[in-house]
Amino acid sequence: MILLGPGDGTKLTALGSTYTTKADSAATRGAYWLVEEEFWGATTPLHSHTTADEAFYVLAGRAALWLDGGEAEAGPGAFLLVPRGRPHALRRLSDEPVRMLTLVSPSGMEQFFLAVAEAGEERLMADPDRLVELAAEHGTEILGDHPAV
């Protein structure tokens, strides 16, 4: 059994979000990665996950999800599901960060964010080709800038 209190869990900050892990690959035997995500960046790039489904449950703030050629707004209590292989992007709509429970199944995406932190985010942002390669190595295809910006 795992019992974590509010704010407990390993924290990782990368690419516009801070992730507090609630259940990692070891705890779930690879089934999923569950984090409390604080999305404070303006947008994510348009991207798809080749090996995982991604789900978001919005706790606070407002975001827009770009999926299937259009945007849907989501506030507290909204649930968003992005099946693997579907191009999508997030955009923060509120002044404050968007807090979400984010579930990725199967686990593994956390390895990408760890790799970004280890390589140095500033260095990777200055070398976008390397960031695209690193993402691909971890099951994410970066397709371009956010479509609505």
CATH code of the domain covering residue 84: 2.60.120.10
Tens-digit pLDDT profile for residues 69-99: 899 999 999 999 999 999 999 999 999 999 9
Q: Give a yes or no: residue 33 inside a domain.
A: yes
Number of domains observed in the structure of the chain: 1
Inside any domain, residue 130: no
Q: 39: exposed, middle or buried (C-beta count within 10 Å: 0-12, 13-18, 19+)?
A: buried
pTM over 0.85: yes
Dihedral, 138, 85, 89, 97 alpha carbons, nearest 10:
-60
DSSP string for residues in 23-60: E-HHHHTTS-EEEEEEE-SSB--EEEESS-EEEEEEEE
Residue 51: inside a domain: yes
Task: Identify whether 46 is part of a domain.
Answer: yes
| Residue 32, in any domain of the structure | yes
Tokens of 73: 């707004």
Q: Please indicate, yes or no, if residue 129 is contained in any of the structural domains.
A: no
Q: How far apart are CA 76 and CA 105, in angstroms?
A: 22
Instruction: Identify whether 98 is part of a domain.
Output: yes
Domain assignment present for 147: no
Domain range enclosing 48:
12-109
Give the chain's residues under pLDDT 50: none
